[in-house]
A and B are shown apart, each in its own frame.
Chain A
């Protein structure tokens, strides 16, 4: 994903703009990162350069938790514990 596309990116659920971007890996484009909505606390992963802006029901909890655990050092606590639709609160022991 190119950084400048943040200019027109909004939360698909509440349409809030602007969203916040944290980059984990970057070459020419952002390879991995997280996009968060400060209003509803939903988070969206960027995996393999692709921002995944899906609504809750099309997301798979298992894959999303793997993503959160993989990058937990770089993800704000608030998202780790209160992020929607999935977070690591009370799930710390399972993984």
Chain B
């Protein structure tokens, strides 16, 4: 595949991202000491606790994502949770502890290797309340009004059709349900050269929306009470723009009136 290709068709982006994360699932083994420690350190810096790390299968922490501990902390016993882009399952396993045996956590990812890895951890550690599915976050295989909380950790920026992701999230949530998502956004405009790069796309940067655009996309899907619960600088991209990691909360309220 070419390194850059101007205006990428959605399908090309999707295939590239899928392939890249398949490779990551295969090659980033967490059985070697140093990388496991590095992943643990990365998770701690994102706000997860040492206890969180002790509570999940080690192989599920791949040092990916930008951290979503606030979302996990808000989960209640018995809730049905959906993780968009669940990868190797790190947040799913943490969420599973929170919602307990009367709850259920479903992880969806379009990368087969990631889902297999997550499933293997779930079986090995005998998680009863988790379920992994191969699927696409733009076309959720989930019934309307069936989910209490949607979590997602640094994944939606990878989607070439974010509006559709938020519409789907809205559709599957119960009334009163919420999204608690963590993602990368930009402040300022990214230079063309970065926007065009496939590598930057898979590295969560090229696809990141400007912060206000991101929040607007959530509101346009119908969500209410959209707010940023925390944010921090992820990286100084370049002179024109900053990459921020944000945690966003929003609710599906009664009625379908859109803002």
Contact = CB atoms under 8 A, between A and B. Distances in A.
Contacts of A2: 131
Given A48-B116, A58-B18, A53 B143 contact: no
A68 B5 CA distance: 36
Contacts of B131: 1-2, 5
A65 interface: no
B20 to A, nearest CB: 14
Interface string B209-230: 0000000000000000000000
A66 interface: no
Given A48-B119, A49-B119, A12 B135 contact: yes
- Classify chain A: how many residues form its interface, as a range: 20 to 34
B161 to A, nearest CB: 12
A10 B144 contact: yes
A54 B106 contact: no
A94 to B, nearest CB: 25
A48 B119 CA distance: 9
Contacts of A9: 141-143
- Classify chain B: how many residues form its interface, as a range: 20 to 34
Given A9-B143, A48-B119, A53 B135 contact: yes
B144 to A, nearest CB: 7
The DSSP consensus for interface residues of chain B is mixed
B134 A12 contact: no
Contact of B132 (A10, A50, A54, A57): A50
B11 interface: yes
B139 interface: yes
A55 B119 contact: no
A53 B134 contact: yes
Given A5-B131, A15-B171, A50 B119 contact: yes
Contact of A55 (B116, B132, B139, B146): B139
Interface string B131-159: 11111101111111011000000000000
A25 interface: no
B139 A8 contact: no
Q: Which 4 A-B pairs have the closest CB atoms?
A: A53-B141, A12-B139, A8-B146, A53-B135
5 contacts: A10-B140, A48-B116, A49-B123, A50-B132, A51-B134
Given A17-B143, A50-B116, 19 more contacts: A2-B131, A5-B131, A7-B146, A8-B146, A9-B143, A10-B141, A10-B142, A12-B139, A13-B139, A17-B144, A44-B141, A48-B116, A50-B133, A53-B134, A53-B135, A54-B134, A54-B135, A57-B11, A58-B14
